[in-house]
Amino acid sequence: MKKILIAENDLAMEMTYLRVFVVNGFEVEQVNGEIKAAHAASQFRPDIAIVSMEFPGSKSIRIIENLSNEARRRPFPILAYARNNDRHLAETALTAGATECIFFGKPGTTDLHAKVAQILGLPSRNMQPNATAAPASVLPAEPSKVKPPTPAPPPPVEASKGTPPADAPKQAAQNPSPPPNRTKPSVKLPIADGSAGNLIRLKARAQNFLRTEDKSVKPLIAELYETAGILTRESTIPRSRSASRMLAALFALLKDMAEDPDVVSASIRRTILQAADFVGATFNSPANPDEQEERNFRILAVDDEVIARMLVAKALESVHLAPETAENPMAALELVKTTRFDLFILDIQMPQMTGFELCQQIRRQPFNSKTPVIFVTSVSDFKSRIRFAQSGGDDFIAKPFVGTELATKALLHLMAR
């Protein structure tokens, strides 16, 4: 059994990757800090380490540096990954000691597993093609040693227009680009006008927000809130109903964050970026006849605590979703056998059957074998995360949850199907 060490900042994405690698026969260890990474590399002795480049500040770089130090004693590959195709980011990772850097779209699990399998010389088995994932691009280590492609010959130039100076290549060689620094870059905000410019700013600011240290989030939340508010008020701009619903949910979530920045978590950061990406992708989509009437999604929330069920229902009702509820797993199973649902929201610690076991039972039902499952729980230890991966869950939110984040997560899963 191959061993993989995962350094991921976002709990929901960590759960997704855990599920993929556990199902495919890997022994998995998870870390979220540079000291833990070095200790795990020494004690766990992984065959490969994968590191998210989306930790705030320069934490990703410090993790890679510590892993690289351990890899000098016992060689193993270090694969850095990120969602944004940023060459400067990749060069920073490679300079810190990463073997390769891979970029992928959402959610990217197929690309990541395939790359790990390729590096280790394993078959990429048991993986279904990811229809929503963008093609991955890979930047290998030591890019300076890769022979650049031969440039195409320039088109003929008329004598009257002159020719470029013969020493132009020499001048370029004498002025090489500066070496990459080790600071994780922020996304530069492009200048544009109207709704197109605001969409670009929304996505760029969400990317910056994902990478910023906790102590600096207040100004970014204010900027995000302002930009989402401007887009929300542009009611005369044609946009799909899906984009409109997601934008309203995102605006409500940002409002909560602006009022209480202390509740910001890695999960909330990721949810905000995913919602911003969705709005940007669908804002100007052609009108869909099916969207003229809001679809009545069927959602089942299962929790043995009545107050917890009420809180989940209240959160979803804020975005015009009306969940059905079940007070125990056995009652939920009776519904699952005869009803096709669009989303499940499950507690983990319940009598008779845990949420993990219920999820496994749901996956065996023909109607709901691929229905998204979000776990809402206070359980956060690593063994529970492994069980999450094995049970077939799709997302994870910790108690006590922020209602507007749960509502936004639910819409993301429902409207991405």
Q: How confident is the model at residue 168 (pLDDT cuts 50, 70, 90)?
A: very low
Q: How far apart are CA 311 and CA 399, in angstroms?
A: 11
**Do 295-415 and 3-144 fall under one CATH topology?**
yes
Distance CA 18, CA 389 (A): 5
- Confidence bin at 11 (pLDDT 50/70/90): low
**Is the Cβ–Cβ distance between 396 and 267 less than 8 Å?**
yes
Cβ(19)–Cβ(359) below 8 Å: no
**Residue 377's pLDDT is what?**
76
Residues 336-353: what's their mean pLDDT?
92
- Contact (Cβ atoms closer than 8 angstroms) between residue 22 and residue 386: yes
Q: Are 391 and 362 in contact (CB under 8 A)?
A: no
295-415 fold: Rossmann fold (3.40.50)
Of residues 126 and 203, more confidently modeled: 203
* Predicted confidence (pLDDT) per residue in 59-116, tens digit: 899 999 999 999 999 999 999 988 766 778 888 899 999 999 988 765 466 778 888 9
| Tally of helices (H runs) and strands (E runs) in the chain | 15, 11
Domain locations in the chain as residue ranges: 3-144, 194-282, 295-415
pLDDT in tens, 17-55: 877 888 788 988 888 888 888 888 999 999 999 999 888
Per-residue b/e over 191-205, b at no fewer than 16 CB within 10 Å? eeeebeebbbbbbbb
pLDDT in the model for residue 229: 87
Q: What is the pLDDT of residue 180?
A: 42
Over range 325-341, report the average pLDDT: 94
User: Residue 183 is encoded by which pair of tokens?
Assistant: 């600071």
* Residues in Cβ contact with 253 at an 8 Å cutoff, skipping those fewer than 6 apart: 268, 271, 272, 275, 402, 404, 405, 407, 408
The CATH class given to the 3-144 domain equals: alpha beta
Residues of the chain above pLDDT 90, percent: 35
Residue 339 pLDDT exceeds 60: yes
Lowest mean pLDDT, pick from 159-163, 219-223, 272-276, 360-364: 159-163
- Tell me: pLDDT of 284 over 80: no
